[in-house]
Amino acid sequence: MPFRPTNPVRPKPRWIDPDPIPDGVLLRALDPNPVVARLLYRRGLDTPYAARDFLNASARPAPLASELPNLIAATTTVAAAIARGDGIGIFGDYDVDGLTSTTLLLRALRAATGDPDRVSAYIPARDEGYGVNPRGIDALLRQGARLLIAVDCGSNDHDAIAYAQERGMEVVVLDHHRIASYTPEGALVVSPQLLAEQSPYHDLTGVGVAWLLVSALAQEGVHVAEDDERDERSYLDLVALGTVADVAKLDAINRPLVRDGLRQLAQTHRPGLRALMDLTKIAPAEVTSTAISFSLAPRINAAGRMAHPNLALDLLMEDDPARAAGLAAELDAVNQRRRMVTDEVVAAAYAQIVSIPGWEDRPLFALHDRMWPGGVLGAVASRLGEEFGRPILLFRNDAGTLHGSGRSIPGFDLVDGLHELDELMIRYGGHGQAAGITLEQDNLMHLVDGLSEQITDAGLPIPVPPRIVIHDDLAEADLTIQTVHDIARLEPFGNGNEIPHIRVRNLRLDRYSTMGKDGSHLRLNLLTGRRALTGLLWGGAERSRELLGARLVDVVGILEINRWQGRESLQLVLDDFRVVD
């Protein structure tokens, strides 16, 4: 059972009202359904052309290679290595983005060379640390690699890249992580971070960059497809999986890549992905970005967190359905262990925090333990950050060297904060809200003091209350199954194109009850003028006391269709509710 604090400290969430729509806006010009039209307008799609383009679900052509810095040069280098018969080594990362990137390149380049033995891969175990390292380079050299392709890593690995070059390797880096200072000398670095933030390519993931390289090779006449019935677009299932799992913004270039990739995933020929969907009871024809985020990605990620990432790579590379089914079951067992360990570490870290004198006033918490496995610390930090409303740093203590993860809060860029204190750390990197950090234990308090001062100077309220952004207010007449189908036209949902959270006011509360095996969830039976509506608040059983004597409630949540025994009904998965006085 997931850990739940006995004395929750999470502040009440703030409801952020939807932006008002000015008088005179011709919503019908955006879409015939006024709910969809309002959602489009509030997403900045305020012209008929922009709305039509956004909703256009037809397949899009591959982006131009010339739009991404150094991609043409990298394509030439890789094509030349293929033509010469050189061995190619791929150094990937242990998360879903890195694993899908590596799989894509392995499959495409083996098809291009016609010789699987010429293309090898190395994925580091988590305890090796993030990024390119000499151990992996040596392993690839032993397998005959003369061209090194670092994917989803490498932008900041200057020493390791220099090590590869000293041993005679050409180096191509396909990455998307923030570049701390300058790119490795002598390497061809293909990265959207070399573009302005306004570029539609800026939020590409590692697997997106890898696919652009493969697409550019195909346009140059290199045979990258695995058989004559397919082309480079057959790899878009991997692009969708890695892009959604990496929580990349699903706008600009990523939106059509993921939308086309979901279509490819629905008919994927990869036994590993089909086995994973069978195991999680996802019908391929109905796979969504949400299914990737909550069902497929956690299991693939679990290999790098709790075992070895090669387990997930083997699944993605497996061509035999029976062996794929066995690998999927093994991954599922690893994921179950990850969830159990995560709950244990959450409970232990929570107890540490509330035992700190005056913890309520601290702007940041940093904890360490020699028994905590590094693979779950990011997830634990995320959960505790939500609970306590402030940044959390968690570390595994390895004989005085701390290896860990940090999670931030809205309004505080953690990597920018770390950059100002970089002399205290051995290494760090990541994104604005999430970072990996390694430092000596003696420097931890200096790091905490420096980050705490930055948070205080930023004027952020501590704890920062959760924010529920409301995308639209629905009238009771809009509460229909057809509305759910119409909203689905805005998919794929994710970062930058969030699934709509809608508010309905003054619903009559018929009754309520707890539910679930452990009684931890709350079910509200609501009445509208036309029909009954079920509201589900996961993990919200302790809030049932608020409903005692209540007659009317305002609710915010995601409108869904519940399918059970061939019947469909409407339900709201609730973010929050408020009793109407």
Q: What is the tens place of the pLDDT at every residue in 164-178?
A: 999 999 999 999 998
- Quick: pLDDT tens for 426-442: 988 777 788 889 999 99
- Quick: pLDDT tens for 273-284: 999 999 999 999
Neighbouring C-beta atoms of residue 366, cutoff 10 Å:
20
Residue 475's pLDDT band (cuts 50, 70, 90):
very high
d(CA 387, CA 364): 13
The highest-level CATH class for domain 470-579 is mainly beta
Chosen CATH of 66-229 out of 3.30.1390.10, 3.90.1640.30, 3.20.20.80, 3.40.50.300: 3.90.1640.30
Entry pTM: 0.90
| 3-class SS string, 492-551 | CCECCECCCCEEEEEEEEEEEEEECCCCCEEEEEEECCCCEEEEEECCCHHHHHHHCCCC
Q: Where are the domains of the chain?
A: 66-229, 356-457, 470-579
Domains 356-457 and 470-579 fall in the same CATH topology: no
- Quick: pLDDT tens for 187-241: 999 999 999 988 999 999 999 999 999 999 999 999 999 988 889 999 999 999 9
Reply yes or no on whether the pLDDT at 579 is more than 90. Answer: yes
Burial of 59 (0-12, 13-18, 19+ CB in 10 A): exposed
The CATH code belonging to domain 356-457 is: 3.10.310.30
